Amino acid sequence: MLLEGKNAIIYGGAGDVGGAVARAFAREGARVFLAGRTAATLEAAASEIRATGGLAETTQVDARDLQSVEQSLDDVIARAGRIDISFNAVGHDDVQGQSMLAMSQALFAQPITNAMITYFNTSTASARRMVQQGSGVILAISANAARQAYPNIGGFGAACAAIEALCRQLAIEVGPQVRVMCLRSAGSPDARGLREVFAMHAQEQGMTLDEFTAQAASGIPLKHLPSLAEVANTAVFAVSDYASAMTGAVINVTCGQMMD
């Protein structure tokens, strides 16, 4: 198992992406701590992992509140002894479907502000502890919109670009003790959030959800968008010792939709 003996905290661990990554980490031997604001959904996700033989616990935290993040990490370390992996899959509360010309500054800035607050809090708090112990991996996730413009997505693309820039900045400041990576996904059609966004854009274009999804995948070399499992498996590689020479990098998990 690639992550045997590792302790991982997954912010947004009850969500689609966070849950998929938590399950993959646990499958590979990690002890996972699902972090988020709602105890009931966190416990449900943890119970699912435990039912398959994985090690899963929960910790309540508001990633927008640095003190809450600090206290949660101290709680996890008190239980586990150390933290080896930190992954942030917290949503940005972005608003899509409106032109920038019709959108208020507050709505445009909302996902950018949320992303920078939660990523700064979780990554720097984790990094401080990892630097002190001499090792660790911090993992983030962004989307194609970090590099490619799409109409009517509000501040989502700017938020993704900011996440990638933050990861590069942090990587150069916390090496060699800590590696910092980012996954860039094209979006997983089996994730509830993407289905909602696709349904909205499909309606704008007078298409069904299935038609829009098929159109989105038609020009991709692999002819499909990355599933949650594919994103999670890549996350396992990124935080494993097999990726020990990688830091400050964005890993392309787009099935070829975006080519580097």
Each of the 260 residues of the chain gets a pLDDT tens digit; together they read 999 999 999 999 999 999 999 999 999 999 999 999 999 999 999 999 999 999 999 999 999 999 999 999 999 999 999 999 999 999 998 888 889 999 999 999 999 999 999 999 999 999 999 999 999 999 999 999 999 998 999 999 999 999 999 999 999 999 999 999 999 999 898 888 777 777 877 888 888 888 887 777 788 999 989 999 999 999 999 999 999 999 999 999 999 999 98
Q: Which residue has the tokens 């274009």?
A: 205
User: Which neighbouring-strand residues pair with 31?
Assistant: 7, 55
Q: Distance between CA atoms of 155 and 106, rounded to whole angstroms?
A: 10
Does one domain contain both 73 and 116?
yes
User: Which neighbouring-strand residues pair with 10?
Assistant: 34, 87
Residue 260 lies in a domain: no
Does one domain contain both 106 and 205?
no
Residue 139 lies in a domain: yes
Task: Check residue 63 and give its pLDDT.
Answer: 97
Q: What is the DSSP letter of 179?
A: E
Task: Check residue 172 and give its pLDDT.
Answer: 98
CATH number at residue 122: 3.40.50.720
Structure tokens at 231: 């994103």
Phi, psi of 106 (to 5 degrees): -65, -45
Structure tokens at 10: 């997954």
Structure tokens at 204: 């704008």
Which residue, among 69, 63, 8, 60, has the nearest Cα to 39 in the 3D structure? Answer: 60
Which residue, among 179, 67, 158, has the nearest Cα to 116 in the 3D structure? Answer: 158
Does one domain contain both 147 and 219?
no
Q: How many domains does the chain have?
A: 2
Residue 258 lies in a domain: no
Structure tokens at 223: 């002819």
Element (H, E) at 8: strand 7-11
Does one domain contain both 212 and 88?
no
Structure tokens at 187: 């979006």
Task: Check residue 3 and give its pLDDT.
Answer: 98
Does one domain contain both 54 and 110?
yes
Q: Distance between CA atoms of 226 and 217, rounded to whole angstroms?
A: 10
Helices assigned H by DSSP within the chain? 16-27, 39-51, 66-80, 105-133, 156-174, 192-204, 209-218, 228-239
Handedness of CA 119, 63, 158, 84 (dihedral sign): positive
Is the bond preceding 176 in cis, omega lying within 30 degrees of 0?
yes
Residue 209 belongs to what domain range?
189-225
Q: Distance between CA atoms of 213 and 61, rounded to whole angstroms?
A: 34
Task: Check residue 136 and give its pLDDT.
Answer: 98
Does one domain contain both 196 and 110?
no
pTM score of the predicted model: 0.92
Structure tokens at 224: 């499909």
Does one domain contain both 249 and 135?
yes
Q: What are the C-alpha distances in Å from 44 to residues 57, 126, 159?
A: 10, 25, 29
Does one domain contain both 35 and 161?
yes
Q: How far is CA 38 from the centre of its chain?
A: 18
Q: What is the DSSP letter of 184?
A: E
Phi, psi of 78 (to 5 degrees): -65, -35
How large is the angle between the packed helices 192-204 and 209-218, nearest 10 degrees? Answer: 100
